[in-house]
């Protein structure tokens, strides 16, 4: 990608950027630069806040002026239109999108398209509040202001995240069943993956919704938020998620983040799965009814 050299700029911190750390502010304004470059520019005094030297983790305030020296950046491709993301809800503080499977939240090796890139259609760019695996579809909450981002981090323990998935086999439990294990990373000939038996405590609450053709549609509520937690817990239970090439077999992971709830807010979106896997009418109401039940409480994620 073509690189260009910018001119000296003085930019004003907007109200929606109030409270961001300086490094986060710079990344949002300029994009990702080589590791450590922002730190060097700040510590050498080339980046200044209201004409004064500053520190990388100082928090900027609305109305402050930030001097940005010339830097080499990649010329940004034209931002994709907002229609390139499916919007479930938008207001002045937040953006809730229905992320398609196969789209990573952040760009990485071999992946240039991402939610992060598509959010360039908004300025300032919203910040994802939580993670969602590339192969998992569903609801992703993004903060449009740093104030909202801080507030969500402080109340994240009150947020209920519910997923739906099809698994192989007939799930043996008829009501809420809690799966608990320790999950950690391990290397295999097929690459890095998560496995049980060591690592951090992981808790998932599972309830069946439908049984059909030797498979079960489940709703899973996270008690913790470990990498690949649902996929490992269900595979270890003998019921891998349909289409899970890493922990089961096949292609096209049928795992979808279907609901986000916290006091005063509730969002949902059912997956658009093909043919026999498509959720039946009334499934959404059933999920919310189950979430209202007194299943075991969450842990801090």
- Which residues are identified as catalytic? 133
Given a contact cutoff of 8 angstroms between Cβ atoms, the answer to whether 188 and 194 are in contact is no
Q: For strand 137-143 and strand 255-262, is the pairing parallel, antiparallel, or unpaired?
A: parallel
The distance in angstroms from the start CA to the end CA of the chain is 38
Report which of 102, 164, 95 is spatially closest to residue 130, judged by C-alpha positions.
Answer: 95
Please check whether residue 48 is in contact with residue 67, taking contact to mean a CB–CB distance below 8 angstroms.
yes
Which of 166, 162, 300 has its CA nearest to residue 220? 162
3-state secondary structure of 109: coil
DSSP-assigned beta bridge partners for residue 164:
219, 256
Q: How far is CA 4 from CA 126, 171, 253, in A?
A: 25, 56, 40
> Is 257:139 a contact under the CB 8 Å cutoff?
yes
Selection from 128, 112, 111 nearest residue 257 by Cα: 128
Nearest to 220 by CA among 296, 135, 156: 296
Cα 279 from Cα 71, distance rounded (Å): 50
Q: Spell out a b/e string for 287-296, using b for 16 or more CB atoms within 10 Å of the CB, else e.
A: beebbeeebe
């Amino acid at each position: 990608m073509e690189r260009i050299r910018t001119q000296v700029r003085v930019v004003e911190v907007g109200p929606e950027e109030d409270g961001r750390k300086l490094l986060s502010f710079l990344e949002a304004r300029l994009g990702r630069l080589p590791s450590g470059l922002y730190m060097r520019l700040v510590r050498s005094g080339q980046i200044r806040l209201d004409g004064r030297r500053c520190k990388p983790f100082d928090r900027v305030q609305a109305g402050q002026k930030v001097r940005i020296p010339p830097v080499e950046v990649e010329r940004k491709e034209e931002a994709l239109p907002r229609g390139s993301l499916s919007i479930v809800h938008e207001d002045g503080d937040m953006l809730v999108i229905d992320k398609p499977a196969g789209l990573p939240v952040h760009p990485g090796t071999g992946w240039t398209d991402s939610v992060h890139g598509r959010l360039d259609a908004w300025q300032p760019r919203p910040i994802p509040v939580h993670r969602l695996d590339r192969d998992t579809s569903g609801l992703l909450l993004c903060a449009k202001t740093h104030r909202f981002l801080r507030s969500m981090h402080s109340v994240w323990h009150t947020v209920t995240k519910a997923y739906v998935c099809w698994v192989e086999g007939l799930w043996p439990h008829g009501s809420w069943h809690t799966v608990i294990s320790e999950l950690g990373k391990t290397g295999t000939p097929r690459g890095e993956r998560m496995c049980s038996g060591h690592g951090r405590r992981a808790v998932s609450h599972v309830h069946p919704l439908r049984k059909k053709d030797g498979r079960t549609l489940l709703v899973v509520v996270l008690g913790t938020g470990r990498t690949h937690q649902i996929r490992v817990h269900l595979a270890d239970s003998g019921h891998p998620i349909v289409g899970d090439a890493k922990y089961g077999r096949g292609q096209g992971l049928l795992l979808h983040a279907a609901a986000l709830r916290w006091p005063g807010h509730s969002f949902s979106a059912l997956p658009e799965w093909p043919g026999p896997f498509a959720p039946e009418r009334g499934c959404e109401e059933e999920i919310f009814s189950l979430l209202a039940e007194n299943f075991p409480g969450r842990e801090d994620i």
